[in-house]
Structure 1
Amino acid sequence: MSTRPAISPTTALCAALPLPALAADGAVPDWIHLLPAGEIRTVDGRGPYRVADPAALIALSLNGGARLPLDENHSTDLAAPRGEPAPARGWIVGLQSRDDGLWGQVEWTAHGRRLVGGKAYRHISPVILHAKDGTVTGVLRASLVNAPNLRGLAALHQAGASMDWTTKLRTLLGLPDTADEAAIWAALEAKMGAVATQSAQLAPIAKAVGLAETADGGAVLQAVQALQDPAKVVPAAAVTALQQQLSTLQTDRAKEKAELFVDTAIKAGRIAAPAQMRDHYIARHMADPTAVEKEIGAMPALHGRSGASVLPPPKPGETTPAAGLDPEEMKVISLMGIDPEAYRKTKAAQAEREGVL
């Protein structure tokens, strides 16, 4: 048997939260604090209530682009059932989860803006929809109030004057009028699960475009659209050209190193000098320098002195121990076991012969 609680949504009028202060220029706040973080208490002593999934709560409350009314002194709940006026003083058009709870974005009516700007009211009292287990399933509306405790509303609930929100839930969830409580609960669970999944999928996208993982869908969409700005996109052809230039530079550098090593080995008498042998070892060195240097280093050096000490390659910034030899030459002759002085003399003699020619 299923252990999930039977759905029995009712309304609750929460303890009021203070209105944000007016701006320095007297402008009324566009965002108001609706629900605190953590436990949510109601004025009639029931609860506590809690928000299990802020993203799901926001999606269900504003389903289909709903605009939630903001009235005075809960006139929608108290005056309207008696046929008395209950005009809206603003409309909640957006909801946002913050560290201190749930906030609502308000489009004020002209009269509502005058009331708040004139400091006629000090608090905001929200009306929530909740299940028996205390889970808040929706924000229905809010009111401008001055009495944080709103005494007298308890009698409204004790008298059982609560709305039947089953019909509204069926409509919001796209269910037929014949859907029972089990079907409504299953659809609600599926909807909340889908919203949670969407939030989880949105987090890595937000991170990839440089936003916090908690960024909402609107911010992520704006960041993704910015990436499509032609001025900020590098053409594929330019990227390909840069990659080709980098590959050419890497090949040229590898060839320079290979030629230096092979030519040094030829001068030392480790390998024969014919052009085909030189080209063979240069190609192999470009493909696998470690293996070729090890192989040629094991060959006898015809121009080196037996038992001569081989100096290690100079560290960066140090001068070369043998005059006329650069760091690259010192590194190569060290790997090949050639005496630096013998190599220097061979190099000088080679240069002299080439000069004569």
Structure 2
Amino acid sequence: MKDYLILKGGQMAVGDGVPEVIPVLPLGHVVSSKGEFDVDEESFQAMKAQIAQRGVDLVVDYEHQTLKGVEAPAAGWVKELKLEGGQIMAVVQWTPRGAQYLENKEYRYLSPVVTVRRSDGKATGLHSLALTNTPAIEHMTPIVNSDLFEGGQHIMDIQKLAELLGLGTDATEEQILESLKACVDENKSLKAGAQPPADDSVVANKTVCELVGLKAGAPVADVTARIMELKSGKIDGVDLKAEIQTLKQQAAARDADAAVTLALKAGKIAPAQKDWARQYALDNPQGFAAFVEKAPQVVPMGELLGDGTMALKGGTLDEATMLVCKQLGLDPEDVKKYNLKEE
């Protein structure tokens, strides 16, 4: 992890007028408001390589506004870094506004923002430069090494993390990382302990066992087999789907017979229509019910016998029976032969 350090630029005066080349960092040991670090030729080469890799000019802003996530107009742009006279120098192309500030001596100091390699405390990157009149800002928050900069965010997050871990706000980064690592290891251990072994020795949940008709503690294999059996519609070898279908058919047949019987008794159908009516009631119960409700009475009340036959009086069909035969297109002789009883 790298920190950005705001340099204490007490000796980093821009100078009079609008110079095109300005000092950025002296070679050697540098003391900043947030720590000490070293600058050498390796630092210079690393900074040049970093800028080249980004492919954009380095910004010179006002009061480090680039770091604060706010509107940050440029005072100038660093076009090149040079190593001259024991210092890293920057060739700057100033904006008209930036040049005017310098010309009027409204800004006089430069404050660079560098990255420092933690392993040896050497400056290895240059993030930006800023014009400021207070180059030695005390108690300024370090900036996290990111392309998205928000002033103070790094320290604030570290303090919150320390608080969540039960550490004091004065905890060091090493203490926080150690505590965080312990939490991660503990979490991994808990997850590993929660994983079931890869065999069927693990018993299923008690409630699940009871729901599928097994004793609590049944092996997973037994529970799985029972669930698959239920999905197939069979229990203990009995095809439940077939049983249910049979019951449905029987119930439908009873309902159809009852509907036809009521229709016959109401005189809405003739005995000769019984088979047709029963099939209609089986295929479409609602349709048959609607038909019976709207159908006129075609058989006089009292003419129906208990066994569903018409009375034959004097060996002939009465007027009502003849009317039914005519409406249904039945042959009276067939009615006499198959569907009537003599009184």
Decide: shared fold, TM above 0.5: no
**Rg comparison, structure with higher value:** 2
Q: Whose strand fraction is larger, Structure 1's or Structure 2's?
A: 2
Structure ranking higher on relative contact order (CA contacts 8 Å, 6+ apart): 1
TM-score (norm 2): 0.39
